[in-house]
């Protein structure tokens, strides 16, 4: 069909589940980065330094939540996990639709590394940027 753009996605309906609690409606921004460690590949006699790909790295996920002190919402869920030093699954999807090849679910075992008790300026939205530390291997589900 002429003029139809496929393969593009507007990011507005992400799914963020923390230890089984869906906090998606409290999320403004989420960032999870993956990369490859660089390893030195050059050897004696090489006149140029170069790298070869090493192991997969997953950066510590950062989620910016609208702060919410209600039962089973942002503060109550995250503070309890942080105080107990709990490792749990953070499950992220680009859309709240069913998990599929076009909407994979990324599961990352992690713990709450940093979260503010209070942060903001008078009149601002009350936001809570939370850093989760990776504590296990990333898995990807497509069904």
Taking Cα atoms as reference points, which of 109, 110, 117 lies closest to residue 131? 110
Which of left, alpha, beta for 20 (phi over 0: left; psi -120 to 50: alpha)?
left
pLDDT in tens, 65-91: 999 899 999 999 999 999 999 999 999
Q: Which parts of the chain fold into alpha helices (H)?
A: 74-83
Domains of the chain: 15-141 (2.30.110)
What pLDDT is attached to residue 120? 87
What is the reported pTM?
A: 0.88
Q: How far apart are CA 9 and CA 90, in angstroms?
A: 22
The residue ranges of the chain whose pLDDT is under 50 are: none
- Computed over its alpha carbons, how large is the radius of gyration of the chain? 19
Two tokens at 141? 């589900």
Would you give the end-to-end CA distance of the chain in angstroms?
Answer: 28
Two tokens at 68? 């919410």
Residue 140 CB-density burial (10 A; 0-12 exposed, 13-18 middle, 19+ buried): exposed
Q: How far apart are CA 84 and CA 111, in angstroms?
A: 10
What pLDDT is attached to residue 1? 53
**Average predicted confidence (pLDDT) for the chain:** 94
């Amino acid at each position: 069909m002429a003029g139809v753009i496929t393969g593009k996605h507007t990011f507005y309906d992400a799914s963020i589940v923390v230890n089984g609690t869906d906090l998606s409606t409290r999320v403004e921004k989420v960032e999870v980065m993956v990369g490859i460690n660089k390893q030195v590949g050059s050897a004696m006699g090489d006149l140029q330094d170069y790298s070869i790909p090493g192991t997969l790295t997953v950066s510590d996920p950062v989620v910016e939540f609208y702060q919410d002190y209600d039962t089973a919402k942002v503060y109550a869920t995250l503070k309890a996990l942080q105080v107990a030093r709990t490792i749990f699954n953070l499950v992220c999807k680009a859309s709240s639709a069913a998990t599929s090849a076009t909407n994979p679910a990324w599961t990352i075992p992690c713990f709450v590394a940093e979260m503010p008790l209070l942060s903001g300026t008078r009149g601002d939205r009350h936001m809570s940027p939370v850093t989760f530390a990776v504590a296990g291997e990333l898995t990807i589900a497509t069904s």
